[in-house]
Structure 1
Amino acid sequence: MDSSVIEDLVLRVKKSDQKAFNTLFEVLCEPMYSYACSILMNDSLAQDIVQEIWIDYWQKRQDLDVKFLKSYLYKSIRNRCYNHLRDQKFNKIQLEVANSVSIDSEVDQSYDVIELATKINSVVSNLPKRCQLIFRLSRVNNINNKEIANKLDISQRSVENQISFALRQLRKELAVAKTLFSFL
């Protein structure tokens, strides 16, 4: 959807047009969810945060003066995700991954952060199947290494190695994306 259409929808939402809001939600919700998921590595939490942001947007629609809606929404996601991570126990690797996928607060309409979420999903999807499974169980489903090892009938060390491999791949690929898009 091009930026002029989005700008028109934003103006209509400001006037409490529910159809315009629903259209924006349909177009932007899934990429926002992917972005939140890439930071939090937790599907249900990402979904909750995205829904909270849309509710806030609707509630504040008349008071907001948003020039670039996508930038505003993605910055809101990033901030909420970081606040959640700050308030939770998380390890150094999770923090590194979260920092790797952050966006500059001055991101503009010409840069589409959807590409970043797509890149992360692509990297994970290109991992070997067993590695993908272990990584998703660990980082998306928040299952600890011992439980994964028991569930898959492998050693805990194998689980740790697979997760380390996945994180190295993510860091490597995201470093390329970071360079290409001049993050931070």
Structure 2
Amino acid sequence: MNNPEIFEKTYTQYWKKLTAFSYTMTQDNDLAQNIVQDVFVDLWERKSDVKILSIEAYLFRAVKNQVFKHYQNNRFDKTILEDKFEDYVMDHFTTIEPELLDSLYSLLDKLPEKRKEVLLMYKMQDMSIDQIADELEVSKQTVKNQISTGLKQLREGLKDLAWLALLLFCIEIFKITFA
């Protein structure tokens, strides 16, 4: 890897794949790009010391380790993981693990019936605020308020589940890495 042309070719070939991989773990585009950049900087700085048999395996493993290192260094700030988890759950409501989905449904059942209905329409049926307002014959502002309040209530309940999600997330990354 001492050759700048080979390094540049490797960078060009793997940048997008590694950034996408990093993003799946962090759900933060800037952080994902920074992690990949750090991996390549480290590789260049250690170019004469490192012996690599498979560049692709090396790079993906290095990115995975950098992500874990980032979260390990920030482990005392649980809000980072909690926020990532909450965002992930809200964005991937229909595709999350069954164990987590059971807990989420339990949290949903604690919501007032109309709020629960609005959230399910919004997240599960992918309906717009306008569509929900029309169907329920309420104002758009009422729908927005119900969604906002419902998500806040779910986030509060999800804070307790953040470590379960981290475990499931790591299992999912393991599947991606070794698939």
Q: TM-score, normalised by structure 2?
A: 0.48
Structure with more helix by fraction: 2
